[in-house]
Structure 1
Amino acid sequence: MTYTKKSITLKPTEIGDLETLFRFQIDKESAYLAAFMPKDYDSKIAYVAKYTKLLKNPNVNNQTIFIHNTIVGSIAKFMIQDNPEITYWIDKKFWGKGIGTKALKEFLRIETIRPIFARVAFDNFGSQKILEKCGFIKIDIDSGFASARQKVIEEFVYKLEK
C-alpha cells in the first residue's frame, strides 16, 4: 500500500505517544540500523524520563507521525554542538512505503531553520535514501561508538542548506 501526503500527519508529541514510540525503539532490527542509541535504549523508564524532559525543551521539536489515527513513527529537531539536527524513526511495519520521505518533507516545512544536519549509520541505506530524496547532501564521514552494535562504526553526516 502506498500512502499519500494527505494520509500522513505530524502532531506535536504527547506523553501518551511515548508508549508506542518506545516499542518501535526496542525492535532489534530497527535499533541495529539506528546504531547510535542510548546505552539503556531498552529501558522504558529511561526512555519515558528522557522524552518527558525533551518534550518540555523549547529547542527540541518532537513530532509524532500518524497515518489516519495510527502512530507510525516520530521525527524531531534538536540541537547538538549549536547545530540543528534531525532524527526520525519509522515503525518497521511501514518501511519501504515512502512514509519516511513524506514525513520528513512535511517536517521540513514546519522546521525551517537552515542549515540543518542529519547523521546516519553507513549501512542504513533506507535512511540515506530518505535524506537524499529530501535534498540533504552527504558532507562528511565520522565514526563513533554504536551502542546498539557494541562497536565503533562509520556514520555519514548530511546537510540541508535550503
Structure 2
Amino acid sequence: MVNTDVSLRPVHDSDLPVFFRQMNDPEANRVAAFTSPKAAEWDLFAAHWNGLRESPDVVVRTVLADGDVVGNAAVYGEPGEREVTYWIDRAYWGRGLATAALRELLVEVPERPLYARAAADNAGSLRVLEKCGFRVTAAARGFAHARGEEIDEAVLMLG
C-alpha cells in the first residue's frame, strides 16, 4: 500500500466527468460486473448522479487521494436494508484506497446493519469489504450488465 492521504468530501459538479470516465473503463466494468447501463450515456449518467446528490436517503462522497479525485463511495437504500457501494479508478487499484475510503464512510454513517454485494469472483472488492468488517452472509445470482449474463454474487453484512 502506498502512503496516501485518502479523504471524502461531498460530490462537486466537476467530479461527474471524472466519474463518467472512470465508470466507463471496460476492464473495471468487467471486474465490477454489476454496473448500470445508465453509465454509458452522459445525459442518463448525469441525471442519475444529480438524483443521488439530491436524495436525503443517500450519502454519496467523492474519494480523494492526495487531493486527486480517484472515485466515489456511497450508502443508499431503505433503513435496515442500506447498502454501501464504491468505485475506485482502476489506475489506483491495489493501493488500499478503497479500504481507506470505505472505513471513512463507515465512520460518517454509523448506522448498522449495512450490506454490500460483489461479484463472487471480484476478490479485490471482497477483500476491501472484509477488511472493513463485512462478512459474507449469503450467495445469490444476478444479471451482471457489464458481462451480459447472470453470475454468482456474494452478499455481505456489517452488523
C-alpha contact (below 8 Å) 1:3/1:99 kept by paired residues: no
| Deviation sequence 1:29-71 (CA, Å, 0-9, x none) | 1111111112232111111110011100010000000012210
| Deviation sequence 1:128-159 (CA, Å, 0-9, x none) | 00001111000001111111100000110000
Give the structure 1 partner of residue 45 of structure 2.
47
TM-score by length of 1: 0.94
Q: Matched residues in 2 for 1:9 and 1:40: separation?
A: 27
SS in 2 for 1:62: strand
Q: Matched residues in 2 for 1:149 and 1:115: separation?
A: 29
Give 2:136's match in structure 1, choosing from 135, 138, 143.
138
* Aligned positions of 1:4-153 closer than 5 A: 4=4, 7-79=5-77, 83-153=81-151
Q: 1:80 to 1:42 in 2, by over 3 A?
A: farther
Unaligned runs of 5+ in 2: none
Q: Matched residues in 1 for 2:3 and 2:134: separation?
A: 22
Question: How far is the alpha carbon of 1:81 from its aligned partner?
Answer: 8.3
Q: Matched residues in 1 for 2:41 and 2:152: separation?
A: 26
SS in 2 for 1:40: helix
Give the structure 2 partner of residue 3 of structure 1.
3
Q: Matched residues in 2 for 1:154 and 1:81: separation?
A: 26
SS in 1 for 2:117: strand
C-alpha contact (below 8 Å) 2:19/2:71 kept by paired residues: yes
Q: Matched residues in 2 for 1:117 and 1:14: separation?
A: 26
C-alpha contact (below 8 Å) 1:143/1:152 kept by paired residues: yes
Runs of 4+ residues over 6 Å off in structure 1: none
Q: Matched residues in 2 for 1:81 and 1:23: separation?
A: 31
Q: Structure 1 vs Structure 2: percent identity of aligned residues? A: 37
Q: Which amino acid aligns with 1:152?
A: E
C-alpha contact (below 8 Å) 1:10/1:66 kept by paired residues: yes
Counting matched residue pairs gives: 159
Question: How far is the alpha carbon of 1:15 from its aligned partner?
Answer: 2.0
Give the structure 1 partner of residue 155 of structure 2.
157
Unaligned runs of 5+ in 1: none
